[in-house]
Chain A
């Protein structure tokens, strides 16, 4: 039996598929988020040795931070796929990922600022991780700005895809250069603090992982919904979209 690997790489076939997947991921995200937050708020200790109630912001913060980084990689991967295979849908997915990634980055920075204010007494510190996250936000902004500045969608897609790839090459270098501004002391490249590692209370860890997973599922749902909109917008002159519109009345 031969499998048609590219069946869903056409917007016309992907559109209904995405439509079927959106509720699944959406509900999964809602259930996981509710469950994770419940677990996080009621099944975990009220205070830790060094943190008070406000440590619970971890359930939003970690999920958002993980998604912000992961989504950039996924976005660049779709951009690369688009440039290599010349598939329109890949560019559309890359374009749809950017806003969700930017929101996750912003959320990570914002919750981080609140957490920093309560536990360190400062909204912002030029810590390597925070600075990298800020620069990630700039990269998302650059991608979206370039995409929206070009009127011709074909050029916009390809130009933004190239930018995403250039950004991907630069991200490790940027991260490393902020981490280690003095190359003579680069032994301290990795910080000792390690979320999810070792001495974390197991209930907190479970709740954190569940909420992080919820963020992941939410990203799926949001991105698929956005892709559907982009498909409709881009393909509005095709017959299948018009047929679809007539069906819906």
Chain B
């Protein structure tokens, strides 16, 4: 079972490395969105520090959502997905593999680029580290929840817009606590509770999302 998981992850990573621009597009989308806010909202240090956590998270939500469309689409187009559904291994393990690979390609780069946001928005060093940690725990949740939506909207016309309508409301809890922890860190309050809740979301999503995604894939491909 673990072998199947590893096989899927390696395959998706190899495929992505053959088309590196896809990965970079998501990353640059994130950077551009984050850079637009100071231009729109003014470059005052106080304002920027205040909105930084929210902006970073909203940009992360949008970036991860845009990348979701590709999660199953190309496999669906060339028939690989049907083969995956027919394999003897449990589908949710394979789905988890795909989600993990997707997170490595779209979520992890956002975590690594987060210090740049910190610089742009004059965040103190502690807050930047907190933000990286929060993104590290939070972005997998985004990929996990988003996978359900990606599976449900597979192959539909206007799937991208539809996906955002379905998934963005479900992202709210992650964003509330993900942005909250950064603000709390800037104010110097206790962060333990935030990280506990974020980790709780991750565990819950890790358990439920692959099953729901597998069910959704069976409905969509059937």
Spell out A's residues near B (CB within 8 Å): 135, 138-139, 141-142, 145-146, 149-150, 155, 158-159, 162-163, 165-167, 169-170, 173-174, 176-178, 181-184, 186
Contacts and interface: CB of A to CB of B under 8 A. Distances in A.
Interface stretch (B12-20, B101-109, B120-128, B165-173): B165-173
10 closest residue pairs by CB, A with B: A183-B193, A177-B173, A138-B169, A142-B166, A158-B219, A177-B176, A159-B152, A170-B170, A142-B165, A173-B173
Contacts of B165: 138, 141-142, 145
A89 B153 CA distance: 23
B24 interface: no
Interface size class of B (residues with CB under 8 A): 20 to 34
Contact of A178 (B157, B176, B220): B176
B153 A135 contact: no
A88 B16 CA distance: 41
Given A155-B219, A166-B212, A146 B176 contact: no
Contacts of B156: 149-150
B148 A166 contact: yes
B189 interface: yes
Given A159-B220, A181-B177, 5 more contacts: A146-B153, A146-B162, A155-B220, A163-B166, A167-B170
A135 B172 contact: yes
20 contacts: A135-B169, A149-B156, A149-B157, A149-B158, A150-B156, A155-B219, A159-B152, A159-B220, A162-B152, A162-B215, A162-B216, A162-B219, A166-B170, A166-B212, A170-B173, A173-B173, A177-B172, A181-B177, A183-B196, A184-B189
B184 interface: yes
Interface string B153-191: 100111100100110111011001100100010000110
B197 interface: yes
Main secondary structure of the interface of A (DSSP, over half): helix
B116 interface: no
B214 to A, nearest CB: 11
Contacts of A163: 148, 152, 166
Contact of B194 (A139, A149, A183): A183
Contact of B172 (A146, A174, A184): A174
Contacts of B169: 135, 138-139, 142, 167, 170, 174
A74 to B, nearest CB: 20
Contacts of A146: 152-153, 162, 166
B172 A182 contact: no
B222 interface: yes
A207 B179 CA distance: 43
B47 interface: no
Contacts of B119: none
Nearest to B200: A173
Nearest to A134: B169
A149 B172 contact: no
